[in-house]
Chain A
Amino acid sequence: MHEMSLAEGILQLVEETARREQAQCVKTVVLEIGQLASVEVSALEFCFAAVAAGGPASAARLAIVEVPGAGVCQECGCRMAMETLFGVCPDCGSHRLETTAGTEMRVREIEIESGQVE
Chain B
Amino acid sequence: MCTVCGCGEGETRIEGTAHVHADGTVHSHAYEHGHAHKHHHHEHGVGGDLDFGAGPARAHVPGMSQSRMVQIEQDILAKNDAYAAENRRYFDERGIFALNLVSGPGAGKTTLLVRTIELLKDKVAISVVEGDQQTSNDAERIRATGVPALQINTGKGCHLDGHMVGHALERLQPADESLFLIENVGNLVCPAAFDLGEHHKVAILSVTEGEDKPLKYPDMFRAAEVMLLNKCDLLPYLDFDADLAEANARRVNPDLTILRVSASSGDGLSAWVSWIESGLEAQRGKRSATVDALKARIAELERQLAGK
B34 part of interface (Cβ distance < 8 Å): no
Q: How far is the CA of A16 from the CA of B45 in the complex (A)?
A: 12
Chain B: interface residue total (CB-CB under 8 A): 48
* Cβ A5 vs Cβ B65 within 8 A: no
Q: A5-B161, A105-B75, A117-B60 known; A110 and B192 CB under 8 Å?
A: no
Q: A86-B252, A114-B66, A116-B62 known; A106 and B193 CB under 8 Å?
A: no
Q: Which residues on the A side are within 8 Å of B52 (C-beta)?
A: 114, 117
0/1 string, B215-249, CB within 8 A of A gives 1: 10011001000000000000000000000000000
> Contact residues of B with A, CB < 8 Å?
1, 6, 8-9, 46, 48, 52, 60-80, 156-159, 161, 189-190, 192-194, 215, 218-219, 222, 250-255
Q: Which residue of B lies closest to A10 (CB)?
A: B76
0/1 string, A89-118, CB within 8 A of B gives 1: 000001110000000111111111111111
A interface residue count range (under 10 / 10 to 19 / 20 to 34 / 35 or more): 35 or more
* Cβ B46 vs Cβ A20 within 8 A: yes
Q: A2-B189, A5-B159, A116-B62 known; A17 and B70 CB under 8 Å?
A: yes
Say which residue of B1, B66, B190, B218 sits within 8 Å of A12 (CB atoms): B1
* Cβ B69 vs Cβ A109 within 8 A: yes
A6 part of interface (Cβ distance < 8 Å): yes
> Contact residues of A with B, CB < 8 Å?
1-2, 4-6, 8-14, 17, 20-21, 23-24, 27, 30-31, 38, 51, 84-86, 94-96, 104-118
Q: A86-B251, A112-B68, A116-B63 known; A9 and B76 CB under 8 Å?
A: yes
Q: How far is the CA of A88 from the CA of B59 in the complex (A)?
A: 56
* Cβ B75 vs Cβ A106 within 8 A: yes
* Cβ A113 vs Cβ B66 within 8 A: yes
* Cβ B222 vs Cβ A86 within 8 A: yes
Say which residue of B74, B192, B222 sits within 8 Å of A106 (CB atoms): B74
Q: Chain B's nearest CB lies how many Å from the CB of A76?
A: 14
Q: Known contacts A9-B76, A21-B46; can you find 5 more A-B pairs with CB under 8 A? A: A5-B159, A38-B189, A107-B73, A110-B70, A112-B69
Q: Chain B's nearest CB lies how many Å from the CB of A81?
A: 17
Which 7 A-B residue pairings sit nearest by Cβ, starting from the closest? A2-B190, A85-B218, A9-B76, A86-B252, A105-B76, A113-B67, A107-B72
Q: How far is the CA of A92 from the CA of B190 in the complex (A)?
A: 32
* Cβ B76 vs Cβ A13 within 8 A: yes
Q: Which residues on the A side are within 8 Å of B73 (C-beta)?
A: 106-109
Q: Which residues on the A side are within 8 Å of B194 (C-beta)?
A: 2, 5
Q: Chain A's nearest CB lies how many Å from the CB of B124?
A: 33
Q: Which residues on the B side are within 8 Å of A107 (C-beta)?
A: 72-74, 76
